């Protein structure tokens, strides 16, 4: 029974494809891909709508107010109202804008964000597109986002847009490095770039109780935290949302976008957030595996989306509690702390592997991480730098 519920979507797709029995091979392949794409879009666009209203509600609670509660029960129909508003708004293109580039930027940014969703295993046998180098595909597609942001900034022909795009690209490029290097320990330990293999490697329980998720090893925990912070930066979320700021550069590279194009940017940002959280779950949190053996009867996709929901809640929570950082603080943090720690994770993972992947390896890799962390904190101690702040260009 539980297997049937677990595989309900897989069997559903097989049933749909059985209608095409006897059709040429390429047609079945195209239909199979289309079903995957349709399912992905349906699930994640719904999740986007849900997330947009939940975020406002939770932020409201954190700031001691109600949040949206007028449209529908508990304000749950708010995204529909938002969508209608965005659709009927006038689409303004600046006269001096580069019209083609201005139009293509939101298209490209949404396309890349959705493409990245394709390689994540959402449940047992539920990876939309199985690629041998899936992790690499994720980052290859993700790196295209920078070009799209640049196109938005340059195509708008507006100084705010350009400066905002510059900020966004600078922080994306800087944090792409720790993001990718924190993935390397997992790839090293598993020996594969395929998301399915990585999830399969986290199956089972140590001592019969503790799940073998990578986040429960010292290097995995450190790498997960670094990955999570880098993911926050990549999706331009609040402690790191310098690319847009009402008082400085309006809405950054989105300044000249209105109506549905703006909504597309907004959607791409959220979809990108889902994708990077999904990858974090795949890499460190055991993918769709259950945390306790007794709970394995719960379908695998429910576990995946429960973990996704928990991580997204942390995203909202951080947005509600932390103040913004300055550009130079973000850059310093990336190059002076994140990058060395990311490399330390690699070393710690190697130590864990060669010390036998057991308790001894656990202790030794913990020592490596702790030593590196303490040393870095002592070196980077910036307490005395608060006194004299010099302005180089604004004298």
Q: Which is nearer to other proteins, 89 or 353 (CB)?
A: 353
The region of 187-195, 211-219, 279-287, 340-348 touching other proteins under the rule CB under 8 A is: 187-195
Q: How many residues bind other proteins (CB under 8 A)?
A: 27
Q: Which is nearer to other proteins, 42 or 100 (CB)?
A: 100
The tokens describing 131, both together, are: 């690629």
Report, in Å, the least distance between residue 104 CB and other proteins: 8
Question: In the chain, helix, strand, coil percent, each to 5?
Answer: 70, 0, 25
The tokens describing 191, both together, are: 């020996």
How many angstroms separate the CA atoms of 33 and 45, rounded?
Answer: 18
Does 193 sit near other proteins (CB under 8 A)?
Answer: yes
The region of 68-76, 191-199, 212-220, 235-243 touching other proteins under the rule CB under 8 A is: 191-199
What is the distance, to the nearest Å, from the Cα of residue 319 to the centroid of all Cα atoms in its chain? 15
Does 137 sit near other proteins (CB under 8 A)?
Answer: yes
The region of 189-197, 280-288, 356-364, 370-378 touching other proteins under the rule CB under 8 A is: 189-197
How many angstroms separate the CA atoms of 261 and 256, rounded?
Answer: 10
Does 392 sit near other proteins (CB under 8 A)?
Answer: yes
The region of 44-52, 129-137, 247-255, 273-281 touching other proteins under the rule CB under 8 A is: 129-137
Residue with tokens 């997960």: 224
Does 133 sit near other proteins (CB under 8 A)?
Answer: yes
How many angstroms separate the CA atoms of 110 and 91, rounded?
Answer: 18
Q: Which of residues 292-311 bind other proteins (CB under 8 A)?
A: none
Report, in Å, the least distance between residue 317 CB and other proteins: 31
Q: Which of residues 141-160 bind other proteins (CB under 8 A)?
A: 141-144, 146-147, 150-151, 154
Report, in Å, the least distance between residue 154 CB and other proteins: 6
Binder of other proteins out of 81, 136, 225, 355 (CB under 8 A): 136
Report, in Å, the least distance between residue 176 CB and other proteins: 8
> Do the beta carbons of residue 179 and residue 339 sit within 8 Å?
no
Q: Which of residues 85-104 bind other proteins (CB under 8 A)?
A: 98, 100-101
Does 140 sit near other proteins (CB under 8 A)?
Answer: yes
How many angstroms separate the CA atoms of 148 and 254, rounded?
Answer: 11
Does 173 sit near other proteins (CB under 8 A)?
Answer: yes
Give Cβ neighbours of residue 243 (< 8 Å, ≥ 6 apart).
Answer: 164, 165, 167, 168, 171, 236, 249, 252, 253
Nearest-CA neighbor of 287 among 175, 100, 119?
119
Q: Which is nearer to other proteins, 193 or 263 (CB)?
A: 193
Give Cβ neighbours of residue 203 (< 8 Å, ≥ 6 apart).
Answer: 212, 289
Q: Which helix (H) or strand (E) holds 98?
A: none
Q: Which is nearer to other proteins, 69 or 329 (CB)?
A: 329
How many angstroms separate the CA atoms of 299 and 8, rounded?
Answer: 9
> Do the beta carbons of residue 352 and residue 362 sit within 8 Å?
yes
Residues that bind other proteins in the complex, under the rule CB under 8 A: 98, 100-101, 131-133, 136-137, 139-144, 146-147, 150-151, 154, 169, 173, 176, 191-194, 392
């Amino acid at each position: 029974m539980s297997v049937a519920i677990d595989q309900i979507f897989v069997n559903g797709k097989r049933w749909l494809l059985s209608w095409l029995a006897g059709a040429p091979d390429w047609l079945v392949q195209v239909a199979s891909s289309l079903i995957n794409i349709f399912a992905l879009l349906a699930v994640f666009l719904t999740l986007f709508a849900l997330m947009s209203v939940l975020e406002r509600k939770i932020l409201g609670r954190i700031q001691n107010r109600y949040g949206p509660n007028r449209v529908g029960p508990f304000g749950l129909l708010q995204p529909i109202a938002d969508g209608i508003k965005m659709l009927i708004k006038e689409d303004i293109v600046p006269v001096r804008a580069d019209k083609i580039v201005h139009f293509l930027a939101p298209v490209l940014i949404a396309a890349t964000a959705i493409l990245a969703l394709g390689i994540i295993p959402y449940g047992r046998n539920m990876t939309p597109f199985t690629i041998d180098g899936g992790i690499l595909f994720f980052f290859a597609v993700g790196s295209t986002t920078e070009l799209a942001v640049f196109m938005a900034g340059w195509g708008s022909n507006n100084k705010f847009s350009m400066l905002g795009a510059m900020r966004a690209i600078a922080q994306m490029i800087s944090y792409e490095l720790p993001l990718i290097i924190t993935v390397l320990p997992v790839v090293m330990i598993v020996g594969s770039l395929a998301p399915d293999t990585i999830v399969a490697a986290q199956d089972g329980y140590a001592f019969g109780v503790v799940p073998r998720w990578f986040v429960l090893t010292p290097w995995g925990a450190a790498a997960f935290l670094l990955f999570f912070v880098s993911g926050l930066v990549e999706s331009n979320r609040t402690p790191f949302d310098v690319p847009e700021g009402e008082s400085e550069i309006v809405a950054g590279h989105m300044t000249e976008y209105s109506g549905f194009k703006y909504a597309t940017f907004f959607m791409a940002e959220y979809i990108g957030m889902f994708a990077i959280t999904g990858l974090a779950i795949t890499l460190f949190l055991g993918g769709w595996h259950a945390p306790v053996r007794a709970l394995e009867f719960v379908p695998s996709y429910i576990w995946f989306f429960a973990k996704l929901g928990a991580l997204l809640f942390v995203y909202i929570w951080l947005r509600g509690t932390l103040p913004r950082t300055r550009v130079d603080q973000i850059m310093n943090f990336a190059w002076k702390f994140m990058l060395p720690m990311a490399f330390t994770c690699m070393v710690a993972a190697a130590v864990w592997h060669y010390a036998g992947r057991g308790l001894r390896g656990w202790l030794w890799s913990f020592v490596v991480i702790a030593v590196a962390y303490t040393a870095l904190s002592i070196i980077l101690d910036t307490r005395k730098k608060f006194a004299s702040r010099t302005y180089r260009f604004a004298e």
